[in-house]
């Protein structure tokens, strides 16, 4: 579709996306655009439309790296190019990087067999070379392997792609407009990678029926007559392309006054962004904005608009923080007065009233917690059924740094940071015969395989080593993989003491944060009342799991067997979808089983069913009080799993002092 033929009002944030893309077209040094939004919001349509508006480029004829004939790359693998080399003019390319791409497909690969046996440095360019002086589009960038995203962003920042293979080095220019799209529901990017994108935009579909109908109307018109639709908007598209070219020409002459530069620094400091990349990106975006509007001097309005595009994604401190900027803080940092000051403290609804109300709530909660703890520790059975005994959701305790829980053995799943696995990167552990063309040569293994045959092959004294294809050995590398971490959380009445449930939720939240950092998939199963529920199907979106955990209600009996059987079903279906991703089962319970004709026997049979599948597991024992029944340890034995107390989940030496983990009455009894 046309870049201007799309009804922008139908997608909230689409006008900002259009502006962000245009600013990067004017100044690629900004660092690209990350587009966050739900599926079906025209993200891909906008990117493809932009590529058609970029000015045409002159390239050296026959150069696979799109060298500029006016300034050819002196290190071009196809060079050196003479000043009088013929050239051709073509459109800027739009190169798409698929989610399943390999490192060799991204940066290119060397033919190691020819390099060793023929002495020829044969290099096949990758997608970064194809995108030089064009657009590199990465759909679902949050699903790419982390090491690929690192390579991609390093090339985008430096404008150079380096390829190193067993002592053979190739370097070529790689300057492109980087655009990544993602659906936050499928998982977040790490904060370090978020920071490498220059600008970010949030988009979502409008809920207005008239605007949605207009989108459908224009899409149907495009499908019925693509050429006619394009002709209808051709003049507007050409005008947009002219504005991009004019802004590019004006860009070197735009002045950034010291007052506006100080304003940019003040805004970045006010939002406590890490490092100085935010300041640089905001300054470059403000300069590009001035050029886009035909001005040769940056204004305060340019700084404000640039900050709204450059800073929201740099505010995230962990995966549970929502990106965004506080308008009041932005106005204050920009030096603008607050149009709606807060009412003075002490009045109706003021600070004093809130404090009094909060104090009353705290007293009521404290009394309720004491009663709930007392009932739970005395073993009083809650009323049957989830509805009768349901309690209000308890907020999680403060998260802490969790200890590493891993799956034993060596896997071969997707790259991550949890369990040992054979990966495409990491430390080399051994050599083996290749099963496909060699890309990771094990040099020592190759020499060792060839050495016994040198006399038979007629090697002359002092001559070079005689190698054959069958001598080649590839390196087996060991790194870390991401796992499927399935949480099975007991939400029954025996877990319902507010202080204990707060500690349990805080512990699970800590494990979720750990799963995010280790690039795992997570799922959440809870059981209470008369059955179990899959609260969250396995996903890479850890923040969604955290949100479901926070609103988790408690109460009712303890159908432990139902929780374990539901976990078995989830793991079975996930194995069919992704057999290489190994699971880690985390059961959070006090071990009591109180629902069913034979609750304990059913729970033990369900546990042994999981053990028969050799599912690696951890049982987190939530039992507190002076008298402990040891039911969670017995469950761990049936599962063949590791048993840990809540206070053993923290990674540091002060694990037992994690807030809320121990029963507060224990210290009083000890005293």
Q: Which residues are catalytic?
A: 277
Q: CB–CB of 491/591 below 8 Å?
A: no
Cα–Cα distance for residue pair 521/539, rounded to 1 Å:
5
Q: CB–CB of 466/446 below 8 Å?
A: no
Task: Please calculate the CA angle 70-72-75 and round it to the nearest 5 degrees.
Answer: 165
Cα–Cα distance for residue pair 559/562, rounded to 1 Å:
5
In which residue are the tokens 């349990």 written? 504
Torsion sign over Cα 509, 513, 518, 523 = positive
| Cα radius of gyration rounded to whole Å, the chain | 30
Cα–Cα distance for residue pair 29/666, rounded to 1 Å:
60
Closest among 520, 607, 524 to 560, alpha carbons compared: 607
Helix axis angle for 498-517 and 542-550, nearest 10°, is 180
Closest among 556, 553, 520 to 535, alpha carbons compared: 553
Q: CB–CB of 442/374 below 8 Å?
A: no
Task: Please calculate the CA angle 606-607-611 and round it to the nearest 5 degrees.
Answer: 120
Start-end of H helices in 27-69? 43-51
Measured distance between the N- and C-terminal CA atoms of the chain, rounded to whole angstroms: 75
Closest among 515, 562, 561, 555 to 534, alpha carbons compared: 562
Structure tokens at 603: 């729970």
Structure tokens at 626: 């002076």
Question: Residue 531 gets which letter from DSSP?
Answer: E
Residue 596 burial by Cβ neighbours in a 10 Å radius (0-12, 13-18, 19+): middle
Structure tokens at 347: 């009045």
Residue 326 vs residues 265, 311, 340, 506: alpha-carbon distances, Å = 17, 11, 14, 27
Helix axis angle for 327-334 and 258-270, nearest 10°, is 150
Cα–Cα distance for residue pair 305/201, rounded to 1 Å:
12
Cα–Cα distance for residue pair 352/373, rounded to 1 Å:
31
Residue 323 vs residues 4, 328, 337, 489: alpha-carbon distances, Å = 28, 16, 24, 29
CA-based diameter of the chain, in Å?
A: 99
Closest among 145, 49, 159 to 105, alpha carbons compared: 145
Closest among 256, 339, 258, 251 to 302, alpha carbons compared: 256
């Amino acid at each position: 579709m046309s870049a201007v033929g799309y009804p922008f009002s139908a997608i909230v944030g689409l006008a900002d996306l259009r502006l962000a893309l245009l600013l990067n077209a004017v100044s690629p040094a900004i660092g690209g655009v990350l587009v966050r939004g739900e599926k079906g919001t025209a993200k891909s349509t906008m990117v493809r439309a932009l590529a058609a508006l970029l000015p045409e480029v002159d390239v050296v004829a026959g150069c696979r790296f799109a060298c500029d004939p006016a300034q050819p790359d002196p290190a071009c693998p196809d060079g050196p190019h003479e000043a009088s080399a013929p050239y051709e003019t073509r459109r800027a390319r739009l190169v798409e990087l698929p989610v399943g791409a390999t490192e060799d497909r991204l940066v290119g690969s060397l033919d190691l067999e020819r390099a060793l046996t023929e002495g020829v440095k044969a290099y096949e360019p990758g997608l970064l070379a194809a995108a030089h002086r064009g657009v590199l589009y990465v759909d679902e960038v949050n699903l790419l392997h982390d090491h690929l995203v690192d390579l991609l962003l390093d090339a985008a920042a430096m404008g150079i792609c380096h390829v190193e293979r067993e002592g053979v080095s190739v370097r070529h220019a790689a300057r492109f407009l980087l655009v990544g799209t993602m659906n936050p529901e499928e998982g977040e990017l790490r904060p370090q990678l978020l920071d490498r994108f220059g600008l970010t935009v949030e988009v979502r579909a409008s809920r207005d029926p008239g605007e949605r109908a207009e989108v459908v109307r224009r899409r149907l018109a495009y499908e019925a007559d693509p050429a006619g639709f394009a002709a209808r908007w051709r003049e507007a598209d050409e005008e947009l392309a002219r504005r991009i070219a004019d802004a590019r020409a004006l860009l070197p002459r735009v002045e950034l006054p010291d007052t506006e530069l100080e304003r940019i620094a003040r805004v970045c400091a006010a939002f406590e962004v890490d490092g100085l990349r935010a300041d640089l990106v905001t300054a470059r975006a403000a300069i590009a904005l001035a050029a886009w509007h035909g001005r040769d001097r940056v204004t305060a309005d340019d700084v404000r608009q640039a900050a709204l595009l450059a800073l929201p994604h740099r505010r995230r401190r962990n995966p549970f923080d929502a990106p965004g900027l506080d308008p009041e803080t932005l106005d204050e940092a920009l030096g603008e007065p607050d149009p709606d000051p807060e009412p003075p403290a002490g009045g109706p609804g003021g600070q004093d009233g809130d404090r009094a109300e909060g104090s009353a709530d705290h007293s009521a909660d404290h009394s309720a917690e004491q009663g709930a703890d007392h009932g739970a520790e005395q073993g009083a059975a809650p009323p049957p059924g989830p509805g009768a005994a349901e309690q209000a959701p308890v907020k999680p305790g403060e998260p802490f740094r969790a200890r590493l829980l891993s799956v034993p053995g060596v896997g071969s799943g997707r790259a991550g940071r949890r369990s040992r696995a054979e990966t495409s990167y990491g430390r080399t552990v051994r050599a083996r015969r290749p099963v496909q063309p060699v890309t990771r040569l094990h040099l020592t293994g190759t020499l060792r395989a060839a050495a016994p045959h040198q006399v038979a092959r007629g090697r002359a004294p002092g001559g070079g080593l005689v190698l054959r294809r069958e001598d080649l050995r590839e390196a087996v590398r060991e790194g870390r993989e991401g796992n499927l971490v399935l949480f099975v959380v007991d939400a029954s009445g025996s877990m319902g003491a507010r202080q204990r449930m707060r500690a349990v939720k805080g512990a699970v939240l800590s494990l979720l944060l750990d799963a995010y950092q280790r690039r795992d998939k997570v799922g959440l199963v809870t059981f209470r009342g008369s059955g179990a529920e899959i609260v969250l199907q396995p996903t890479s979106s850890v923040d969604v799991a955290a949100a479901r955990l926070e609103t988790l209600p408690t109460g009712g009996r303890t159908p432990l067997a139902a929780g374990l059987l539901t976990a078995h079903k989830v793991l079975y279906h996930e194995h069919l979808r992704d057999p290489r991703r190994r699971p880690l089962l985390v059961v959070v319970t006090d071990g009591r089983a109180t629902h069913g004709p034979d609750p304990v026997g059913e729970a033990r049979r369900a546990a042994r069913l999981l053990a028969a599948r050799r599912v690696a597991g951890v049982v987190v024992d939530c039992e507190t009080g002076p008298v402990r029944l040891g039911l969670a340890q017995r469950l761990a034995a049936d599962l063949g799993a590791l048993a840990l107390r809540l206070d053993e989940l923290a990674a540091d030496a002060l694990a037992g002092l994690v807030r809320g983990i121990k029963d507060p009455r224990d210290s009083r009894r000890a005293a």
